[in-house]
Structure 1
Amino acid sequence: MAPPILMLRDIHLTFGGTPLLEGAELSVSQGERLCVVGRNGSGKSTLLKIAAGLIEADAGERFVQPGATVRYLAQEPDLSEFATTLAYVEAGLAPGDDPYRAQYLLTQLGLTGAEETARLSGGEARRAALARVLAPAPDILLLDEPTNHLDLPAIEWLEAELKGTRSALVLISHDRRFLERLSQAAIWLDRGVARRLDAGFAQFESWRDDILGREELDRHKLDRKLAMEADWLRYGVTARRKRNMGRLRALESLRKQRREQRRATGAVKLAAAEGEVSGKLVVEAKAVSKGYGDTVVVRDFSCRIQRGDRVGIVGPNGAGKTTLLNLLTGELAPDSGVVRLGANLQWVALDQKRESLDPTWTLTEALTGGRGDTVIVDGKSKHVVSYMKDFLFTPIQARSPVGALSGGERGRLMLARALARPSNLLVLDEPTNDLDLETLDLLQEMLADYSGTVLLVSHDRDFLDRVVTSVIVSEGDGRWTEYAGGYSDMVIQRGRGVEAKEVAMPAARPIRAKAEGEAEGEAVPAPKPRAKRKLSFKEKHALQTLPAKMEGLRAEMAGLQAKLADADLYRRDPAAFEEAVKALDGAGAALAQAEDEWLTLELLREELEDG
C-alpha cells in the first residue's frame, strides 16, 4: 500500500462533557477516495477540520507529507473578503496554476464570476467554494457536504469532475448515490472511535450492522455474567468471603466496564399521525400555467394525482419546483388553467428553508406551540420530553433556543412538528437536507407505511428511487412532464437526466474592487494580457476520441433497448432484465458525460481559435 500523505493518529478531543473523539485515526494515501460517515453530532466535520489544520486536537498527532497541498471545503464558506465570485476563486490559485480554470469551473457550476459575494444565496456560495478548492487540483481534497444546496445537474457534474481528478478525496455526505459512486473506503465515526472499511460505501451499511450486532451480543453476555456474579455475591457462603475478595474485585470491575460502555445512539422513531381517509382524487391540474413577468415557470401543465400516489418533482435550481408544488396544493393561484383539490384533504407541509421555525423559540415551544408541556400525537397526549427523545433530542435541550441547533437538528425538529399533526397528504420540500443516513432510512420506511399521498421535491436520487411512484421533471421553458417510476426509471425513459439551466455570461470581466488606500477617481490600470492559451495534449486527444466513444455508447444503448423491447424477457429471466436495465442506465450516464465533455472542449477550441 502506498505511504500516507495525510495521517491523524490517536486523536482525542472534548468540548465539554462526553468526549467527541477518543483515539480516532485517519490515513489518506495518494489518489485514495474515502468517505467519513456517522450520525449527526458524531464529530465528522470536526475530524475534517483537524485534518485540514483548522482545529488542534487535545491529544494526538497530525502528519502531512512535506510539499503536499490540502484544500478544505467548509459547510458554510466565508466569501466576505472578496467582491466577486471570480476574485474569490482566483485567490485560491497558486503560482503556476492554470488561470483559465477558475472561470471554467464557475461556468460549469452555473455562475458567471461577476456575482457579488454579498448577495449570494447559500447554494451560490457553495458553488463558488467548490470552484475555489477544485481549481488548484490539490493533492488532498477534504469536502464537507459538497452536495448541500446543489441541484441534480450540479451534483452529477461534480461526480464526474471528482471521478476524473487525481486528488485524494475525503468526503462527508448524506447523498448515498454520490458516496457509492466515488468512495473506495469508508471511515465510520461512532462514539468517538474511527473504524475503517476497505471497501466503498455500498458495502458500509451491512458491515456496520454486523459490528452493532456483535456489540449487542457481547453486551448481552456481559449482562448475564454480571447477573451470575451478583447472585453469587448475595447467596455465597460467608466463610469463603476472605479467599473470594479477588472475585469481588472482578465483579466491581465488570460493573465499572458496563457503566462506562458507550452504547450506539438510539434510532429516531418516525411515525406520521394519519388523518381521515381522503377522497380517491387528491389533485387534478388541467392546462395550468404560471409566470412572473416575461418568465413562464409552468406552461400548460396537466396531471392527476390519486390517493396513495408518491410524486417526486425534480429540476435544476430556479426551474420552479416550489412554484409547481404551491400550484398543486392550491397555495398559489394559476394564471390560466384549473387546479381541483380532492375531498377531505388534511395536508402537512415541510418547507426546505425551515422558515417556519422562530430561532428565539425553545424546543418545547416549537413542538407545543407555547401551550404547556404536552404534544398531541395521533390524537393522544404525550409529554414533550418523551416526544423529543423519539427524535434524538435530550431532556436538557427542552429549554434550548432553536437558533442554537445544528442543521441536522433543525431538520429533525421540522419532521417532529410536521409528523405530530394528522394528515392524509404530506408536502415535503427538500426534506432530506442535513439529515443523517439512519434518519433518511427511517423517513423512507415511514413514507412506505404512510397510507396517504406524498408530494416530494428532492435532489437526492437514491431517496427518490426508494420513495416515489412517479416523477415530474422540468423540460425547460416552463414545460413539465410526468414519468412513471423513480428517478432512475425517468432517466431511462427520457434518455437523459436533469439538465442545468443556461447561464448568461457577462459581456466583460467585472471591474476589480478598489484596493485599500487607492484614491477616489484614480484610474484603474488595465490587467496585463495573459499569454494565449492553447489546448493541452489531453484535451486534443479527448476531442479526437470522444466522437467514436459516443457512437459506441449509442450502439450499446440501441442493443440494450432492443433486448428490453422483448415483452417476455422479464418473465423468462428477471435477472437478465434487471442487468439490462442497469447496463442501459450506466451507458446513458456515460453518454451524457461524454457529450458534455466533448461540447465543453469544442466550445473551448472555438473560443481559443476566435481569440
Structure 2
Amino acid sequence: NHDPEDLQRVMERMDALNAWDYESQVQQILGKLGILGELLQRNVSKLSGGQRKRVALARVLIEEPDVLLLDEPTNHLDLATIEWLENRLNSPSLTLLMVTHDRYFLDKVANEIVELDKGQMYRYQGNYAYFVEKKADREMREATEVEKARQLFKKELDWMRRMPQARGTKQKARIDAFYVTKEKASTNLSKQQLELSVKTTRQGGKIIEADGISKRFGDKVVMDDFSYVFKKKDRIGLVGPNGAGKSTLLNMLTGKLKPDSGTVDVGQTTVFGYYTQTELEFDPSQRVIDIVKEVAEVVELANGDVLTASQFLTLFLFPPAQQYTLVSKLSGGEKRRLQLLRVLVKNPNFLILDEPTNDLDLGTLNILEDFLLHFSGCLLIVSHDRYFLDNLAEHLFVLEPGGKVLNFPGNYTDYRDY
C-alpha cells in the first residue's frame, strides 16, 4: 500500500517540476531540432555528428537551466531551426554565455558582447550591430594613440641615445616612460584588407544547363523536374531544411551523382571549385604550406599582382610560423579552413560552397566574405548563416516539399519578408 502522504509529496514534486508532460516536452524539443520518427529510437552512437550535436543541445534546453553555456549552437542547424532557437533563448530569466560566429543570432539574442583581441578583453553593452560600431571607434582611437606614441618614441629615442645619466628622479621617470611608449609604439594594428579579387579562368558562353533533372531515394522524391541555365556572375544561395536535398543537387550539378531523369550539360570552360562538408583526409606528414603548394605555388589576382602560397595563407590567418607545422597539429576548424583555401587557390570560375562558415571565426568569415564579394565567377552557396547569405546571394533556390525548387529573386531577408 502507498502512503497517501508520500503520494501527495510525489505529486506536489511532479507539479513543481512541471513533469507531467515531460516526455511530450522532450519529443517536442527533439522534433524542433530535427530528431524525428525512427531517429528517436536509434542508438546515439549510430547518429551522424550533426545529429548528436542536436541531441546534446536538446538535452540542455529540456533541463531549463538558469545559466546556459553554448559553444557554436547554430552549427548543424537549418535556418528555420535557428530562428526557433533564437525565440527559445530570448527568455528574460535565462543567463546565457555563448560562443558563436552567427552575427544575426548575436544581434537577436545577445545584450552584451565580450571580445578577446591580442590578449586583451573588451566589453560592449549591446548586440552585434552595437559591437561593430564601437569596435571601429576603439580601433580608430588606438590607431591615433599608436601614431602619437610613435612620434614621441622617435623623439625620446634620440634623447636616450645621448645616454643621460639618470641620477635625478625626473630623468628616471622619463626613462621608465620611454619603455612604456616603446611598447605602445610597437603595437601592430590590424592591417586593412587588400582587395582580394582573384583572377578566374575565362568563362565561355555555356556554363551549366540543368534540364528537368529529378532524383529520388526509395519512396522519397528529393528533386522533381529542376531546370536552370546558369549565367555569368550568378550569385545564388541554396536554402531548405536539413535532409531536403541541397547536397544532392550540388552533386548532380558537378557530376558526382547522376539524375534519374533529365540532363546536366556543363560548358567546356567551366572549372569547378567545390567545398563540401566532408572533411578531407590530409597526409599528416605534410606541412600546412605543402597542402596549398600542391595546388598552386602562386595565386594571380585580377589586377595582375601575384600572391605566393605563403602570403595567401597569411591572409586567411595562418601566420608564417604555423605554415611550416605538420597538418596533424591543426585543430578540426583549422583543417576545414585549409581545405577551403585549397578550393580557392584552384582558380575556379564556378565556386560551390557547402556550409563554408562552420568552424570559421569572425575574422576569417570577414576575409572570406571580402574574397567572395570580389569573385568574378559563378557562386552557389549553401549556408545556415543568414548574414553571410544576405551579403553574398542575389537570388535563392529554395527547396520545398516534394522536391520542388522555388527560384526566388532576392536575398534571405527578402525571402523571409515575402
d(CA) in 2 for partners of 1:356, 1:485 = 37
Aligned to 2:95, which of 161, 165, 168?
168
Note the C-alpha offset of 1:269: 6.5
Note the C-alpha offset of 1:334: 1.6
8 Å CA contact 2:196–2:370 kept in 1: the answer is: no
Note the C-alpha offset of 1:97: 5.7
d(CA) in 2 for partners of 1:402, 1:413 = 9
Runs of 4+ residues deviating >6 angstroms: 242-245, 267-270
1:118-197, aligned counterparts within 5 Å? 118-164=45-91, 166-197=93-124
Structure 1: runs of 5 or more not aligned = 1-92, 494-611
Q: What does residue 77 of structure 1 align with?
A: none
Q: What does residue 300 of structure 2 align with?
A: 378
8 Å CA contact 1:270–1:442 kept in 2: the answer is: no
Deviation sequence 1:175-220 (CA, Å, 0-9, x none): 1111111111211122233222111222111111111111111111
8 Å CA contact 1:270–1:390 kept in 2: the answer is: no
Aligned to 1:482, which of 389, 392, 407?
407
Q: Which 10-residue stretch deviates more, 135-144 or 337-346?
A: 337-346
Note the C-alpha offset of 1:463: 0.8
d(CA) in 1 for partners of 2:174, 2:17 = 65
d(CA) in 2 for partners of 1:202, 1:391 = 24
Aligned to 1:198, which of 122, 125, 131?
125
Distance change (3 Å), C-alpha of 1:404 and 1:151: farther
Please tell me the residue identity of whatever aligns with 2:77. L
Q: What does residue 28 of structure 2 align with?
A: 104
TM-score w.r.t. the length of structure 2 is 0.85
Aligned to 1:419, which of 315, 328, 344?
344
d(CA) in 2 for partners of 1:335, 1:203 = 50
Note the C-alpha offset of 1:141: 0.9
Deviation sequence 1:344-364 (CA, Å, 0-9, x none): 112212122332544553212
The answer as to 2:196 corresponding to 1:271 is yes
d(CA) in 2 for partners of 1:268, 1:133 = 40
Please tell me the residue identity of whatever aligns with 1:120. L
Q: What does residue 295 of structure 1 align with?
A: 220
Distance change (3 Å), C-alpha of 1:138 and 1:264: farther
- SS for the counterpart of 1:445 is helix
Note the C-alpha offset of 1:461: 1.1
d(CA) in 2 for partners of 1:183, 1:173 = 10
Larger RCO (CA within 8 A; separation ≥ 6): 2
d(CA) in 2 for partners of 1:356, 1:272 = 29
Distance change (3 Å), C-alpha of 1:165 and 1:121: farther
Note the C-alpha offset of 1:279: 2.1
Aligned to 2:365, which of 440, 446, 453?
440
Please tell me the residue identity of whatever aligns with 2:327. V
Note the C-alpha offset of 1:402: 2.4
- SS for the counterpart of 2:150 is helix
The answer as to 2:387 corresponding to 1:465 is no
Aligned to 2:416, which of 463, 479, 491?
491
Q: What does residue 263 of structure 2 align with?
A: 338
- SS for the counterpart of 1:428 is strand
Distance change (3 Å), C-alpha of 1:159 and 1:174: same
d(CA) in 2 for partners of 1:133, 1:279 = 52
Deviation sequence 1:242-278 (CA, Å, 0-9, x none): 6679547634642355347664666776835323321
- SS for the counterpart of 1:393 is coil
Note the C-alpha offset of 1:103: 2.8
TM-score w.r.t. the length of structure 1 is 0.60
The answer as to 2:324 corresponding to 1:402 is no
Deviation sequence 1:91-143 (CA, Å, 0-9, x none): xx9x9363333233212212143221111212111111111111121111111
Note the C-alpha offset of 1:295: 2.3
Distance change (3 Å), C-alpha of 1:216 and 1:375: same
8 Å CA contact 2:152–2:181 kept in 1: the answer is: no
